[in-house]
Chains A and B, each alone.
Chain A
Amino acid sequence: MAGNEREPVLVLRGLRAGIGGVEILRGVDLTVHLGEVHAIMGPNGSGKSTLVNVLAGKPDYEVYAGEVYYRGRDLLSMPPDERAREGVFLAFQYPVELPGVRLREFLRAALDAVREHRGQEKLAVRDFNRLVQEKLREMGMDAEFLKRNVNEGFSGGEKKRHEIMQLLLLDPTLALLDETDSGLDIDALKVVAQGINRFRGPDKAVVLVTHYQRILNYVQPDYVHVLIDGRIVASGGRELAQELEAKGYEWLRQAAEAGRRD
């Protein structure tokens, strides 16, 4: 089964990007096909978060060079809300509090926008309630959350579960998960991993950014890439993650620097 027979959902070619004129990504190439889960690993400050935030269109970031195609379309020319409606979803590392905005209202607005874009009917209130409550339940969240302000007063674990709940509700094509596993105890990690596994499928793709190998015990990646100093310095299968767990990142950094000197 060759992966490239499937549709490439995401293609990055020589992506250089950063913030305030400081280059953080220094030429990233990556191809993700439908059905695949790619884990991007790397030490702190290697550019992992920058990568997924640039793909989601966060305004602080600047793109200096390179191309990004999402389902054959130029992703970088799309405003962030259009990317989301087209099926790109970013689970935030630090989900943002929205003071005074009730979760129900927020989810309704998001789902309406996404469904309208897909040419689907607006859900009746009853159907919306049923759907949202089902997704909340899947992530072990109480329906009481719907009355609360978005992310306000949520614990760290609740915020992360809420991100994955939105992923399941909005049902995008490409999920970008920014350290969704960090700060979770083992029970919460399992719930989050279950949610991601529920999402994955032949017409979905996942780019999972993580600092730790631990989540990969629960979400089995098809590919593992190592990002160091803004470049992918190694790619491989699941076994690469285990090697990193045993040996750390330093050997790859040194190899990469040696490679650049040649």
Chain B
Amino acid sequence: MTQAPPVYETYARRFRELEAGRSEPDWLRELRREALGRFLDLGFPTARRGNEPWKYTDVGPVARTVFGPPPARPPLPLERLRRTLPWRPTWRRAVFVGGRYRPELSHLPAAGEEVTVLPLSRVLSQGDDLLERHLARYATYQDDAFAALNTAFFSDGALVVVPDGAEPERPLHLVFVSPESEGPYVHYPRVLVVLGRQSRLRLVESYLGLGDGPYLTSAVREFYLGEGAALEHYHLLLEGEAAYHVGQARFYQERDTSLRSVFFGRGCAIGRNDVRVDLDGPGSEAYLHGLYVTTGRQHLDNYINIDHIKPHCTSRLFYRGVLDGQSHAIFGGTVYVRPGAQKTDAEQEDKNLLLSREAEVDSKPALEIYADDVKCGHGAAAGAVAEEALFYMLSRGIGPVLAQTLLIKGFASSVLDEVRLPALRTQLDRLLVDSLPRLRTEE
């Protein structure tokens, strides 16, 4: 191995310490050992040549940093959480701070609410059938160093189970807070969501950074959609300015399932929004909308793969980016149509609004089609705010900052209009404006 050995030795040592303190079932112990082995073999994907999935993102800084454990009892500005996140009193909520479940901030569903939410820290030691059946099945780690890293090290997170036919009334919000800290630390959020047959769930996941210092969030989430299930999924990425965030979402869809996902992401030092959808049953649909906003020197890499394994599935991948400063955003990934996935209907499009000349976007939507009776399309675009549109607004007396705000909100609306929770929609409109310093002067 050519990577800097001391860092990997640190991970290996830390793993031995953790293992000694854990009392987990054998299958999990084995799984973790295997994952650690894969991580150490693969190393962080730092190669700058022949490394297509990481072509535009250099994780060298992550590989070189020795991360400690998260702070044990960090101060929590509760007001800021409430202000920044869609913090609705009626929603159900599980809050994790620095990777640890915090019951006093959470509001789990009661018995009879048709959904069970368990902190993984309470489940891991005694084991759980669903966990054993699904964990690491969709977020495979054999060829993925970050998935391997998380699988080896995660100690908390959420297990969400919706029984067959259940339709919980209230949205569920999973909140992962990265607290302030003296030195760099790493935390490993892990989520497993199991939707039973014909069940429904509305789920919001938020990742919020509070400090300005560096840390690593390595998050892995697996979603299993049983036959006929429907998931309405929202993902908010709001990490700190100096954060490294590698988030991986894996959706596995049985037949006749429906996934509707909306992503809202701010950039950070290195941000990675890695999504994979396996359409492994006919008659399923996946609608993925995303809005990313980057400013300053932020970096955000959207890497999204949709795999049409079975015929008669529909996918839509519509992302939009608003870039300012010297930030860098990427939209990459591929829609695969496997042999035999006939009658596939797939579209993907990525559009970008560049607010500054130094901002840079690499937009590479791609299709790989191995079936012949399909309907597929893709497109990408990038441009500045239309001067004509801006002048039209100015000529009505609207000030330049508000005019730009309205145009940017208008650009973003094709994504945000997909949000079906009104409280969240309001919050995202605000977060969009708050994420762009140039729009903050006028209120």
Contact = CB atoms under 8 A, between A and B. Distances in A.
Interface stretch (A35-43, A79-87, A197-205, A254-262): A79-87
A101 B406 contact: yes
A25 interface: no
B409 interface: yes
Contacts of B388: 96
Interface in B80-102: none
Contacts of A56: 395
A110 B394 contact: no
Interface of B: 386-389, 391-400, 402-403, 406-407, 409-414
B392 A84 contact: no
B402 A109 contact: yes
B397 A58 contact: no
Interface in A50-104: 56-60, 79-81, 83-85, 89-90, 92, 95-101
Contacts of A117: 397
Chain A's interface size range is 20 to 34
A59 B391 contact: yes
Given A98-B407, A98-B410, A81 B389 contact: no
Contacts of A113: 396-399, 402
B394 A57 contact: yes
B434 to A, nearest CB: 19
A114 interface: yes
Given A99-B411, A100-B414, A81 B398 contact: yes
A109 B391 CA distance: 14
A13 B400 CA distance: 29
B392 A81 contact: no
B411 A81 contact: no
Contact of B391 (A58, A85, A105): A58
Given A100-B413, A101-B409, A109-B406, A166 B396 contact: yes
B392 A96 contact: yes
Contacts of B399: 81, 113
Interface string A166-205: 1000100000000000000000000000000000000000
A89 B387 CA distance: 18
Given A99-B410, A100-B409, A114-B396, 20 more contacts: A57-B394, A57-B395, A58-B391, A80-B391, A80-B394, A81-B400, A84-B395, A85-B397, A89-B395, A96-B392, A98-B410, A100-B411, A100-B414, A101-B409, A101-B410, A105-B406, A109-B406, A113-B396, A117-B397, A170-B397
Tell me which of A56, A80, A85 has the highest count of chain B C-beta atoms within 10 A of its own C-beta.
Answer: A80
A114 B407 contact: no
Nearest to B403: A81
A105 B408 CA distance: 13
Contacts of B407: 98, 100-101
Contacts of B403: 81
